[in-house]
A and B are shown apart, each in its own frame.
Chain A
Amino acid sequence: MKYLAFAAGVLSASAVVAETPELTVYTYDSFVSDWGPGPAVEAAFEEVCGCDLKFVGAGDGAALLARIRLEGARSEADVVLGLDTNLTAAAAETGLFAPHSVSAEYDLPIDWTDDTFVPFDWGYFAFVHNADLAAPANFKSLGESDLSIVIQDPRSSTPGLGLLMWVKAAYGDEAPAIWEGLADNVVTVTKGWSEAYGLFLEGEADMVLSYTTSPAYHLIAEEDASKTAAAFEEGHYMQIEVAGKLASTDQPELADQFLQFMVSDAFQSIIPTTNWMYPAVTPESGLPEGFETLITPETALLVPAAEAPALREEALAEWLGALSQ
């Protein structure tokens, strides 16, 4: 009898839980980690939604999309958060995503018109270096200099892919020549951002491909003003990170509510000092102190999402050709 009573208790307890709707959000691993925005976002949204927000981490942005593709329409996910504009065309093509209903005044350097994906943060790729280094002002003088750089492989890393698109967007058909110039500056190529940034901090190279916002981490979290990003005359390539609602969701209203919440102050004010990116909508309180010290590129480069896949293939072949010699 005791077992029956126990079982009944468990059943009624889960019945209570079931009354609270659950929203499942797939995101990249570092978003949901204890040091990312995940825990604070979860607390803030659960305060207003009367729901249980469940973050599920899966590798990085591209791995996230791969997982959604593997799961197809059977996915438990209601929202996917953490794709970027290199991936949105492929993501939309799967037909797994539904249009959103979000309206917001974005503080992006470009107009945002996508009706499937909602941006939540963005940043510029940049070469980060120690402040005492005389940094070059463009790719050509970087290629001519003796400076050493660490970059990430575009075949396995989002920033690596960003650099590929950066050079291609800035130089078009001249891109192979730029890469040939850079070839002897590249100390090594790493699998992901963490390895490259770690190598830079260990002194293995003068500069590392990262974001213009990276120095903000050192300044704000470590009170270390010794890192800065090099401003390039060609302009800087952007990464815009987005979220989208899955067509197969069983919580469409809650998913819409989450996407709308995502562009509100409560979510956006968490982003700068956890994800170390610019919020898509600057919160009323403004950016944290320290962000004003960052370089602000005059030209924002971005290949339109629809053109990205074809251009990527061409740029990758050029990159391999120049660096494999």
Chain B
Amino acid sequence: MAGRAQPVSPGAGLVAAALVAAIILGAVAAVFWRADTGAGLGPADWAAIRFTVFQAILSATFSVLLAIPVARAFARRRFQGRGVLVTILGAPFILPVIVAVFGLLAVFGRNGWLSIVLGWVGLPPVQIYGLHGVVLAHVFFNLPLATRLILQGWGDVPAEQFRLAAQLGFSASHTRRVIEWPMLARTVPGVWAVIFAICITSFAVALTLGGGPRATTVELAIYQAFWLEFDLGRAALLSVIQIILAGVAAAIALKLTPFEGLGAGLDRTVMRWDASALSLRFWDAGLIALAALFLLLPMAAIVLSGFGALADLPAQVWRAAGVSIIVALASTAILLALAVPLSWSIAQAKGAGMEIAGILGLAASPLVIGTGFFVILNPFVNPQDLALVVTALVNALMALPFALRILVPGAREVARGHGRLAVSLDMSGWPYLRHIFLPRMRARIGFAAGLTAALSMGDLGVVVLFADPQLATLPLQMYRLMAAYQMEAAAGAGLLLLSLSLFLFWAFDAGGRRGAAA
């Protein structure tokens, strides 16, 4: 689209991208600046880098490969409770790491439900710990997101195309080749890159499910450099490597993404005549049931273990929940201020720079970013006074790549479908945004806002180093309960966290869809 007239200039997005890059790279640079020991990478660091890349490739690939048939099943079927199921299946993605690990192990652990059932028929318990455990956990986290994003891709195909296909007598495989493959080719590389980026910074999940130091990731090496050796130079260097890895993956993915449009339609409800065969119905139903089982069983375990403690949770937990909600809402506001102009600008530009800037927040080590903020703020203010502000900001930056994957395809369609007409009508600036852009983006903005709010609720944040003791967030308070041996109360707090995250997600998501321009 470069060079073609558009009703709103991409300036605001460029500013947002520059701001994101400055914040993240500035934090890493601050850690470098503060480092006084010579930085260098040892063989153990290279082993960590190799393992990190390997598990991230496997995790992203499996997440996407499994998400495609599940998303297709959801795209082809309409049934009672579909909307609710789609929302709940999104929950693993927004779970705090530790809650999810305990949920997964309650199902797949040595003493988990699956092992118990296997025991009944005389089989040994599941061996979950190892590379396959790491991948399983990452798929558990990311399958929901991948499914949702790919499902959105299906939703972007104008209903007219399926109608036309039906008139021409397309079978399911014709539809696949002519309509669905091109859509997937546009959607999947970006989704893969985002999941790859999130798996790059995995640490506690990879270590715990990986069964030991074989599963050492770059983030753990960073933790070691900082925690054990106080080698800030090495910590920062390793984080630069994380950023490069995620950046390269994003660049490759964008390169592989064809940019031609799907063509405009009248946004009618999709009817899928090609998929009405009974065998296909059974196939789709089976896939949805399997995905639901895989994703919902661990969540059922979280609900069961936390339910008993929910009634008499300590007052501090409720207060922390309030703090977390405020942080989540602030994160959401920051995210929208960045992501909406960014998506608009990316939709107009062909360069990948802005989209790669958007992925920075996810790729850089939270520990290094937190330390960087500490180093930057410390000469001027007590970093502790700004702990919640920093948490809200960093959580927004971490959610940005996901938000862009949600918003950009829609922004492209709007620019393509309505940009020229708007220019010819001399409609630009705010009137254009208000009457054309925002109404068409409303559902996506709601989805992105919900995802950010929920992610922000569950994130421990970058500020463990300088958390404000009086204003602890809910995940931090949950860790404190665990550290004080109160595992049951912690499970209760975990369930509260899950419920609140899901509620925020649902409120924004449903709010965005309600009254969205049809």
Q: Which residues of A contact B (CB under 8 A)?
A: 29-30, 32-36, 55-59, 62-63, 65-67, 69-71, 74, 76, 90, 148, 153-156, 161, 186-191, 193-195, 197-199, 201-205, 214, 217-218, 221, 276, 312, 316, 319-320, 323-324
Is B204 a contact of A191 with CB atoms below 8 Å?
yes
- Asked whether B111 is an interface residue with its Cβ less than 8 Å from the other chain, the reply is yes
What is the chain B residue whose CB lies nearest that of A54?
Answer: B469
Asked, given contacts A56-B469, A202-B109, whether A190 binds B207 with beta carbons under 8 Å apart, the answer is yes
Question: How long is the Cα–Cα vector from A195 to B220 in the complex, in angstroms?
Answer: 16
Residues in B with CB closer than 8 Å to A32 are: 469
What is the chain A residue whose CB lies nearest that of B476?
Answer: A29
Is B213 a contact of A189 with CB atoms below 8 Å?
yes
Is A155 a contact of B109 with CB atoms below 8 Å?
no
Question: How long is the Cα–Cα vector from A155 to B204 in the complex, in angstroms?
Answer: 12
Question: How long is the Cα–Cα vector from A32 to B476 in the complex, in angstroms?
Answer: 13
Closest 8 CB pairs of A and B: A35-B484, A203-B111, A194-B482, A30-B483, A155-B224, A33-B480, A189-B212, A191-B204
Residues in A with CB closer than 8 Å to B210 are: 188
Q: Which residues of B contact A (CB under 8 A)?
A: 34, 44, 98, 101-102, 105-106, 109-111, 129, 203-204, 207-214, 216, 220, 223-224, 226-228, 230, 314, 316, 371, 374-375, 378-379, 382, 384, 464-467, 469, 472, 476, 479-487, 490
Residues in B with CB closer than 8 Å to A74 are: 378-379
Residues in A with CB closer than 8 Å to B480 are: 29-30, 33-36
Asked, given contacts A195-B98, A198-B482, A199-B105, whether A70 binds B374 with beta carbons under 8 Å apart, the answer is yes
A176 CB, nearest partner CB in chain B, Å: 14
Question: How long is the Cα–Cα vector from A66 to B208 in the complex, in angstroms?
Answer: 25
Is A191 a contact of B484 with CB atoms below 8 Å?
no
Asked, given contacts A36-B484, A63-B464, whether A324 binds B220 with beta carbons under 8 Å apart, the answer is no
Residues in B with CB closer than 8 Å to A188 are: 129, 207-212
Question: How long is the Cα–Cα vector from A33 to B486 in the complex, in angstroms?
Answer: 12
From B44, B378, B480, B487, residue with most partner A Cβ within 10 Å: B480
Partner of B469, one of A55, A190, A198, A199: A55
Residues in A with CB closer than 8 Å to B379 are: 74
Residues in A with CB closer than 8 Å to B316 are: 34
Is A191 a contact of B208 with CB atoms below 8 Å?
yes
Asked, given contacts A33-B484, A148-B110, A155-B227, whether A194 binds B479 with beta carbons under 8 Å apart, the answer is yes
Interface Cβ pair total, 8 Å cutoff: 154
B14 CB, nearest partner CB in chain A, Å: 34
A127 CB, nearest partner CB in chain B, Å: 17
Is A34 a contact of B110 with CB atoms below 8 Å?
no
What is the chain B residue whose CB lies nearest that of A214?
Answer: B485
Asked, given contacts A190-B204, A190-B207, whether A320 binds B485 with beta carbons under 8 Å apart, the answer is no
Is A195 a contact of B110 with CB atoms below 8 Å?
no
Residues in A with CB closer than 8 Å to B482 are: 194-195, 197-198
25 contacts between A and B (CB under 8 A): A30-B480, A33-B472, A34-B316, A36-B483, A55-B469, A58-B467, A59-B464, A66-B226, A66-B465, A69-B230, A153-B213, A155-B223, A156-B227, A187-B211, A188-B208, A188-B209, A189-B208, A194-B479, A195-B101, A198-B490, A199-B208, A202-B106, A203-B110, A205-B110, A320-B213
Residues in A with CB closer than 8 Å to B467 are: 29, 57-58
Is B378 a contact of A187 with CB atoms below 8 Å?
no
Partner of B102, one of A30, A33, A198, A319: A198
Is B485 a contact of A67 with CB atoms below 8 Å?
no
Question: How long is the Cα–Cα vector from A105 to B221 in the complex, in angstroms?
Answer: 41
Question: How long is the Cα–Cα vector from A36 to B486 in the complex, in angstroms?
Answer: 11
A123 CB, nearest partner CB in chain B, Å: 14
Is B465 a contact of A63 with CB atoms below 8 Å?
yes
Q: With contacts A29-B467, A189-B211, A323-B214 known, what are 5 further pairs, Cβ within 8 A?
A: A30-B480, A57-B469, A188-B212, A194-B479, A202-B102
Residues in B with CB closer than 8 Å to A187 are: 110, 129, 211
What is the chain A residue whose CB lies nearest that of B225?
Answer: A155
Residues in A with CB closer than 8 Å to B101 are: 195
Is B220 a contact of A156 with CB atoms below 8 Å?
yes
Is B227 a contact of A63 with CB atoms below 8 Å?
yes
Asked, given contacts A30-B483, A59-B464, whether A319 binds B213 with beta carbons under 8 Å apart, the answer is yes
Asked, given contacts A29-B480, A32-B469, A319-B213, whether A70 binds B314 with beta carbons under 8 Å apart, the answer is no
Is A62 a contact of B109 with CB atoms below 8 Å?
no
Question: How long is the Cα–Cα vector from A190 to B203 in the complex, in angstroms?
Answer: 10
Residues in A with CB closer than 8 Å to B110 are: 148, 187, 203-205
Asked, given contacts A202-B105, A202-B109, whether A67 binds B211 with beta carbons under 8 Å apart, the answer is no
A313 CB, nearest partner CB in chain B, Å: 9
Residues in B with CB closer than 8 Å to A70 are: 34, 371, 374-375, 378
From B379, B466, B469, residue with most partner A Cβ within 10 Å: B469
A194 CB, nearest partner CB in chain B, Å: 4
From A155, A156, A214, A316, residue with most partner B Cβ within 10 Å: A155
Question: How long is the Cα–Cα vector from A243 to B476 in the complex, in angstroms?
Answer: 24
